[in-house]
């Protein structure tokens, strides 16, 4: 029985699992604090910082000015000098405001100082569309971050993983981006009380199948799982892998699945061109080419900014129906 299975469990929404993960980190690590816009008095724009100020005080729950570059610089400097900060970046879209701190400092300092400097900083940020928040507040930019040597990037798809990955990230001596999904905040599932880890860089097989391997990231895991039921109706058994981690990526789990199914489909919410699906497709053909009976296929967003219109946004975001259509194409049905 795992550590998590030994703990009592109860139904918890994704948003409160994030809250519990942060609380466990602050209780465990005396040098940890959380900083970001509105995280203290307001409890965060999404509510997952509710109650932190009352329990941990203003020295460890810090409202910052509206300056993403400054907030990220705080995380870099504090982590390099012995703290273990959690930095809250309200929208993933805002990484553009602080990319110099991320790309030229956070990701590189450990290497530039010959390993003498470590940066155990955890960055929580919200990605994805689905709320009619338009082009500047709905992007999925994980491929930007995963391209930086020295950076770890994970995408928890459910409440259990959200809590466990925040705790794992906080114990890691590298900078870790935990990319959460705003459209998943109300999704509820069983989550253990207390502290537990979900390993970074380890994928999870969500359902077994024999005809096709579907590799999905973040909220797209739920669309993939919905497609499984639709595919069963036409006699197709798909295996769904929740990648969970973009960098490091668990190539071994994917390859082992393809050795059984001989076909692969990669799904992500980010635009297809330059998305992480291209990298995963390349890894599959490098490691499992002889096992493939068809080209590796992708389902992703079109090469366009996220539209504001709810009707257009619904079409823009990959869905279980678009997955089923691509599976049929892959299997030449």
Active site residues: 68, 137
Distance CA 193, CA 164 (A): 11
Q: Which of 194, 210, 214, 171 is nearest to 322 (CA)?
A: 214
Q: Hey, how many other C-beta atoms are within 10 angstroms of the C-beta on 87?
A: 28
Distance CA 279, CA 275 (A): 8
CA distances (Å), 43 to each of 46, 47, 54, 63, 220, in order?
Answer: 8, 5, 10, 10, 28
Q: Is the peptide bond before 42 cis (omega within 30 degrees of 0)?
A: no
**b/e sequence 142-167, b meaning 16+ C-beta within 10 Å:** bbbbbbbebbbbbbbbbbbbbbbbbb
Distance CA 128, CA 179 (A): 9
**Residue 70 burial (C-beta neighbours within 10 Å; 0-12, 13-18, 19+):** middle
Q: Are 291 and 299 in contact (CB under 8 A)?
A: no
324 backbone φψ class: left, alpha, beta (φ>0; ψ -120 to 50): alpha
Q: Which of 214, 222, 106, 223 is nearest to 161 (CA)?
A: 222
Query: At how many degrees (to 10) do helices 251-261 and 276-288 cross?
Result: 60
Q: Are 223 and 249 in contact (CB under 8 A)?
A: no
**b/e sequence 249-258, b meaning 16+ C-beta within 10 Å:** bbeebbbebb
């Amino acid at each position: 029985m795992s550590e998590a299975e030994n703990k009592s469990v109860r139904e918890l929404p994704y948003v409160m699992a994030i809250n519990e993960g942060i609380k466990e980190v602050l209780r465990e690590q005396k040098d940890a604090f959380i900083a970001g816009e509105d995280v203290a008095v307001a409890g965060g724009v999404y509510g997952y910082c509710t109650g932190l100020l009352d329990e941990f005080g203003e020295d460890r729950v810090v409202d910052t000015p509206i300056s993403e570059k400054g907030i990220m610089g705080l995380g870099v400097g504090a982590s390099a000098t012995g703290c273990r900060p959690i930095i809250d970046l309200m929208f993933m879209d805002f990484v553009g405001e602080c990319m110099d701190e991320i790309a030229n400092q956070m990701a590189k300092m450990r290497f530039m100082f010959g390993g003498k400097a470590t940066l155990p900083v955890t960055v929580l940020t919200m990605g994805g569309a689905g709320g009619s928040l338009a082009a500047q507040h709905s992007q999925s930019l994980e491929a930007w971050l995963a391209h930086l040597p020295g950076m770890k990037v994970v995408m928890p798809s459910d409440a259990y993983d959200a809590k466990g990955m925040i705790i794992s990230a906080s114990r890691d001596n590298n900078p870790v981006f935990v990319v959460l999904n705003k459209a998943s905040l109300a999704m509820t599932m069983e989550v253990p009380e207390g502290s537990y880890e979900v390993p970074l860089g380890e994928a999870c097989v969500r359902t077994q199948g024999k005809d096709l391997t579907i590799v999905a990231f973040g909220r797209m895991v739920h669309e993939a799982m919905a497609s499984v039921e639709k595919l069963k109706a036409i006699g197709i058994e798909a295996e769904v892998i929740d990648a969970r981690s973009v960098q490091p990526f668990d190539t071994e789990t994917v390859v082992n699945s393809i050795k059984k199914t001989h076909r692969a489909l990669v799904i992500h919410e980010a635009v297809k061109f330059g998305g992480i699906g291209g990298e995963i497709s390349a890894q599959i053909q490098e490691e499992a080419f002889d096992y493939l009976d068809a080209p590796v296929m992708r389902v992703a967003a079109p090469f366009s900014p996220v539209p504001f219109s709810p009707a257009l946004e619904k079409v823009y975001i990959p869905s279980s129906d678009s997955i089923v259509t691509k599976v049929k194409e892959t299997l030449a049905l």
